[in-house]
Chain A
């Protein structure tokens, strides 16, 4: 009866009160939310996104170009420092490459001896471009220009050549939504690369940093230790690099220690990413 009266008030009155208008639009919004939760809007939304994705991509490119032009002026000094740092990194990496080659040979011999089937290294990787971040900055999503048509599914891992970015949480035919690893609602099971016992959970922070929590007190964690995914829980494949330990917080009164992680990926400058379509987390 009340709904009927409200409807009559809207249709009969030439200028209904603002509260009636408010009730009408609140009801419309809730109706849209309910229709979305019943997945009734998936098809039209998919169609609209199909049309909008190129526009969004174009606008994003214009922004990136503009940013490149303006930031170039300010970056000369920074580039000098970066250049020196990169030279040092190259030297370190050369040494690391030599060590890794030796380790790889040893690894091969051990695998042969134990007659383990070599784990299939053929990962199916799909390159994609970040075409937008969520419009409100509250959800922590990025949108990429590949979707179900390229074989992407919810749960797949997204990374760059540098390290982990996050995972696909939903997709349309041509776009996918990525939950970034540095968002507060993201949690990734991780471990210290050189200390398999030092496991924990890497959680995003509201300021965009990463923090590794629940590391057992007994485990030694040092600054500059590399943090990788542990593969525990099955949500992410193991050994995807996440970042380096920047700071360790140990308090005697607490059960666990915690570490601030400096991610390998700059989440503010995401452009090209890779989606591992060969890894789909098992549904528990």
Chain B
């Protein structure tokens, strides 16, 4: 039931690259789909916390790399989000795309809040209300819109990798 080690870095690299370079070029600047958060949250629902945490850590480091923000900040926020998202693993509705979609929305909001909090601990000025209104919530809605596609893709990956002999994290 474990995934080959190279799947997560490859998928997350593509997601982070789209998020950092492709979406801004399309004009999605202040709010854009958080593809990495979406992928991690859905993987947490599909495969549980043990597989989602390494995804979260790797995805967070990639986001930190592209954003050139304080290194480890996005990783820490995403690890916590992955842990919280894994509550969906226990649900009987986890194979229906609606549950992961709802979880993606709240995961994106939670990620934004934790990330802003961590920025504040780095002594960076944070406008909580404005940033939540103009960036975090719109980004969460866009992530939710993308969630069915990401879910479809990841559930295919999940099915194909189900029988592969694992490499332990």
State whether the Cβ of A29 lies closer than 8 Å to any Cβ in chain B.
Answer: yes
CB of B65 within 8 A of CB of A29, answer no
State whether the Cβ of A3 lies closer than 8 Å to any Cβ in chain B.
Answer: no
CB of B20 within 8 A of CB of A135, answer yes
CB of B135 within 8 A of CB of A206, answer yes
CB of B79 within 8 A of CB of A25, answer yes
A41-52 vs B: 1/0 string, CB under 8 Å? 100010011001
Q: Which of A124-149 contact B (CB under 8 A)?
A: 131-139, 141, 143
Q: Which of B24, B53, B86, B136 contacts A138 (CB 8 A)?
A: B136
Q: Which of A24, A26, A64, A207 contacts B80 (CB 8 A)?
A: A26
Q: Which of A19-36 contact B (CB under 8 A)?
A: 21-22, 24-26, 28-36
Chain A residues near B129 (CB, 8 Å)? 206
CB of B134 within 8 A of CB of A206, answer yes
Q: Which of B16, B36, B49, B139 contacts A137 (CB 8 A)?
A: B139
CB of A60 within 8 A of CB of B131, answer no
State whether the Cβ of B91 lies closer than 8 Å to any Cβ in chain A.
Answer: no
Chain B residues near A36 (CB, 8 Å)? 70-72
CB of B86 within 8 A of CB of A63, answer no
CB of B79 within 8 A of CB of A206, answer no
CB of B24 within 8 A of CB of A132, answer yes
- Once the chains are docked, how many angstroms separate the CA of A28 from the CA of B54? 11
Q: Which of A21, A64, A131, A133 contacts B29 (CB 8 A)?
A: A133
Q: Which of B108-136 contact A (CB under 8 A)?
A: 112, 115-116, 119, 124-127, 129-131, 133-136
Q: How many residues of B contact A (CB 8 A)?
A: 59
How distant is A64 from chain B, measured CB to nearest CB, in Å? 5
* Chain A residue nearest in CB terms to B49: A18
- Once the chains are docked, how many angstroms separate the CA of A268 from the CA of B24? 8
CB of B67 within 8 A of CB of A136, answer yes
State whether the Cβ of A62 lies closer than 8 Å to any Cβ in chain B.
Answer: yes
Chain B residues near A21 (CB, 8 Å)? 49-50, 53
Chain B residues near A281 (CB, 8 Å)? none
CB of B69 within 8 A of CB of A32, answer no
State whether the Cβ of A177 lies closer than 8 Å to any Cβ in chain B.
Answer: yes
CB of B68 within 8 A of CB of A170, answer yes
* Chain B residue nearest in CB terms to A140: B30
CB of B86 within 8 A of CB of A66, answer no
* Chain A residue nearest in CB terms to B89: A18
- Once the chains are docked, how many angstroms separate the CA of A104 from the CA of B69? 44
Chain A binding surface SS class = helix
State whether the Cβ of B10 lies closer than 8 Å to any Cβ in chain A.
Answer: no
CB of B79 within 8 A of CB of A29, answer yes
How distant is B41 from chain A, measured CB to nearest CB, in Å? 15
CB of B69 within 8 A of CB of A139, answer yes
Chain B residues near A31 (CB, 8 Å)? 72
Q: Which of A30, A52, A55, A62 contacts B76 (CB 8 A)?
A: A30
Q: Which of A25, A41, A137, A184 contacts B32 (CB 8 A)?
A: A137
CB of A137 within 8 A of CB of B66, answer no
State whether the Cβ of B165 lies closer than 8 Å to any Cβ in chain A.
Answer: no
Chain A residues near B63 (CB, 8 Å)? 135-136
Given contacts A18-B83, A21-B50, A29-B60, whether A138 and B131 have CB atoms under 8 Å apart is yes
How distant is A186 from chain B, measured CB to nearest CB, in Å? 9
Chain B residues near A29 (CB, 8 Å)? 57, 60, 72, 75-76, 79
- Once the chains are docked, how many angstroms separate the CA of A63 from the CA of B19? 11
State whether the Cβ of A255 lies closer than 8 Å to any Cβ in chain B.
Answer: no
How distant is A260 from chain B, measured CB to nearest CB, in Å? 15
Q: Which residues of A contact B (CB under 8 A)?
A: 15, 18, 21-22, 24-26, 28-37, 41, 45, 48-49, 52, 55-57, 59-64, 66-67, 131-139, 141, 143, 170, 175, 177, 184-185, 205-208, 267-269
Top 4 nearest A-B pairs (CB, nearest first) are: A63-B25, A206-B130, A33-B72, A32-B72
Told that A24-B53, A30-B76 touch, could you supply 18 new A-B pairs with CB distance under 8 A?
A15-B50, A18-B83, A29-B57, A29-B76, A30-B72, A32-B75, A33-B71, A33-B72, A49-B68, A59-B22, A63-B23, A66-B25, A133-B20, A136-B69, A137-B139, A184-B131, A206-B130, A207-B134
